C-alpha cells in the first residue's frame, strides 16, 4: 500500500535561507522529505517551493498541519497550499460531440492512472451519453445557444454544486464560458487543439494546414477570461508533412490532445503545478 504524503506548495518573496527555513520546519517536526523542488524567478522576485514528505512519522496531527503551514507562510511573507496524496478531487468533465479525450480520461481514471473521481459529465449535446452509461457516471444534457447561454450557465453551476465538484475539465467542450461563470467557478482546465499561442480560436488545424506547418500540437491550460490565453500546464507536438491534408492533421492531432490533457491533469492532481504572475512553474 502506498504511504500517504503531505504536499506543500509555497510562493513568497525571494531572500537567502528560504530552502533551509522550509526544509528545516519539516525536519523539526520529524518529516521524511520525499521530494523537494524550488525555483527562483529573478524578474518577479519570487521564490517557489514544492516539498512532499511522509505523513507517517510526522509529529504533527494531520488536522493541525494546515494551521501550522499558514503560520509558516505568514512568517515568510508568502502564500501556501497544502494537500495530501490520498485526496481524490471530484471532477466534472465537459464535452460536446468529440469522444476521444473523454474516453481516454475515463479509462485512465478506471485503471487508476489518474487519481480523481468523476461523478458528473455535462454536455451541450446528447451524442456521448452512451459512453457515460458504460462508466456509471451521471450525464447531464444542458443545451447552450446564444439565446439561453446565461440561463444554461446558471443550471450548470447549480448542477456542479449538487455534485460537490471541485474541478472542471473541458474535454473538447466547444462553448466559451462567460466571465460571470469563471468568477463563480475559476478552477478549470481546457485542452486546445494547437500549440499555443499559435492558432488560437476556431479551426486551428485548418489554420495550420493553410500555413504549411511542419509541427502540430496541443495545449492544456487553465481557463481565464482571455480565450485560449490561460497559464499553460502541458504541451505536446507531432511532426507533419506536406503530404498531410486537413483530415490527417485532425486525426493526428487527436493523439496529441489526449496525451497533453492526461499529462496536465496528472500534474495538476499531484500538485506539481504552481501558478503565478499569469504563468506556471511545473515541477515534473
* Residue numbers annotated as active site: 228
How does strand 5-13 pair with strand 232-239? unpaired
Name residue, grid cell 490520498: 86
Amino acid at each position: 500500500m502506498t504511504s500517504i504524503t503531505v504536499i506543500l506548495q509555497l510562493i513568497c518573496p525571494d531572500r537567502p535561507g528560504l530552502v533551509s527555513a522550509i526544509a528545516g520546519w519539516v525536519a523539526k517536526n520529524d518529516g521524511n522529505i520525499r521530494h523537494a523542488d524550488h525555483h527562483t524567478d529573478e524578474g518577479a522576485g519570487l521564490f517557489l517551493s514544492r516539498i512532499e514528505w511522509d505523513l507517517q512519522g510526522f509529529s504533527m496531527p494531520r488536522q493541525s498541519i494546515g494551521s501550522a503551514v499558514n503560520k509558516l507562510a505568514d512568517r515568510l511573507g508568502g502564500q501556501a497550499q497544502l494537500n495530501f496524496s490520498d485526496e481524490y478531487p471530484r471532477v466534472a468533465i465537459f464535452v460536446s460531440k468529440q469522444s476521444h479525450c473523454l474516453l481516454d480520461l475515463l479509462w485512465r481514471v478506471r485503471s487508476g492512472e489518474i487519481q480523481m473521481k468523476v461523478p458528473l459529465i455535462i454536455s451541450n449535446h446528447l451524442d456521448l451519453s452512451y459512453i457515460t452509461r458504460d462508466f456509471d457516471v451521471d450525464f447531464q444534457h444542458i443545451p447552450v445557444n446564444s439565446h439561453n447561454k446565461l440561463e444554461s450557465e446558471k443550471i450548470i453551476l447549480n448542477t456542479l454544486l449538487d455534485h460537490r465538484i471541485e474541478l472542471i475539465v473541458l474535454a473538447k467542450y466547444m462553448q466559451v464560458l462567460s466571465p460571470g461563470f469563471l468568477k463563480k467557478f475559476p478552477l478549470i482546465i481546457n485542452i486546445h487543439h494547437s500549440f499555443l499561442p499559435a492558432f488560437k480560436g476556431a479551426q486551428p488545424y485548418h489554420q495550420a494546414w493553410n500555413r504549411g506547418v511542419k509541427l502540430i500540437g496541443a495545449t492544456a491550460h487553465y481557463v481565464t477570461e482571455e480565450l485560449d490565453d490561460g497559464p499553460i500546464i502541458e504541451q505536446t507536438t507531432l511532426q507533419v508533412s506536406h503530404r498531410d491534408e486537413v483530415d490527417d492533421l485532425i486525426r493526428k492531432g487527436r493523439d496529441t490532445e489526449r496525451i497533453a490533457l492526461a499529462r496536465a491533469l496528472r500534474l495538476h492532481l499531484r500538485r506539481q503545478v504552481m501558478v503565478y504572475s499569469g504563468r506556471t512553474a511545473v515541477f515534473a
